[in-house]
Structure 1
Amino acid sequence: MRYLTTLLSCLLSLFGCQEKATSTSITRVNEQGVDLLFSRTSVRAGSASFECVRSASGRCYYEVFEEACDAARHCERAGLQRFDVRAGQQQRQQGLPAGFQSCVSSSPEQRCHRG
């Protein structure tokens, strides 16, 4: 059975029938062994899933942006979206541009952490 699955997978890959790559980043901030922020973001072909696993405030505050840097490493950030997700919940965003970035914090006033 394992050989059949491997063979079928190889044949499908020859015809371009592969799953699109998924990139997952985890942001975790803890203090004295207690999670202040635990978030998981998965990106796949222009859409992303933002999951707030735990947050000291009960919500994760996300920022989605594009960043362009010049040769001197001076970067300009263009904000695309800001939203919050309750702890234990997730939110899916569609139609995001290629190369977008995101960061998360446990409060709208705190510095945003990148995964």
Structure 2
Amino acid sequence: MTKLIALLQFLLALAGFSSGGTTWTSQVHDGGHVLSSRAHAQDGVARFDCIDSSSGRCHYTLYPQRCAGAPCDAPPLRSFDVARGDSRQIAGLPGFRLCVDADGAALGPDCKPRAAVAKH
């Protein structure tokens, strides 16, 4: 099936049509924890759609693209949230790595909650 889709996209590109951009979807239905989000970025403009969230908000953290798949200590490019059923569009974004969560916990570049800092 994926080969057929790739072939169709190739043929459309040859004909002058291009879907372009990158789309991310996040779906989590784990007991009481629900998250459904979609984001699309093209030509430096990104749209973030919070379709559903058990907390009522989707919390987004964007890291530099270089943080994908590698240890990274870079700070987030942006952190923001979007209400369930709403969307937000942001222009002027470079390539980025997307992390999204329903809880609002601070997420690291690996999209996992950052470990609590020990107090001395």
TM-score, normalized by the shorter chain, greater than 0.5: yes
TM-score normalised to structure 1 length: 0.69
SS of aligned partner of 1:39: strand
TM-score normalised to structure 2 length: 0.66
CA distance in 1, matches of 2:73, 2:58: 24
Residue 58 of structure 2: aligned partner: 60
CA distance in 2, matches of 1:108, 1:38: 14
- For structure 1, which segment, 23-32 or 81-90, has the greater mean C-alpha deviation from structure 2 after superposition? 23-32
Give the direction of change, closer, same or farther, for the CA distance of 1:105–1:89 in structure 2 (3 Å limit): same
2:72 aligned with 1:82: no
Unaligned runs of 5+ in 1: 1-8
Give the direction of change, closer, same or farther, for the CA distance of 1:102–1:20 in structure 2 (3 Å limit): same
SS of aligned partner of 2:75: strand
CA distance in 2, matches of 1:104, 1:64: 9
Larger radius of gyration: 1
> Which whole-Å deviations, capped at 9, do the CAs of 1:80-106 have from their partners, x for residues lacking one?
111110000110010001x21111100
Unaligned runs of 5+ in 2: 1-13, 113-120
Q: Please, what is the CA RMSD of the aligned residues?
A: 2.6
Number of matched pairs? 96
Q: CA deviation at 1:35?
A: 6.1
Residue 10 of structure 2: aligned partner: none
Q: How does 1:31-42 map to 2 (within 5 A)?
A: 31-32=30-31, 36-42=34-40
The percent of aligned pairs where both chains have the same amino acid is 31
2:101 aligned with 1:102: no
Q: CA deviation at 1:67?
A: 4.8
Give the conservation status (yes or no) of the 8 Å contact 2:99–2:107: no
Give the conservation status (yes or no) of the 8 Å contact 1:63–1:83: yes
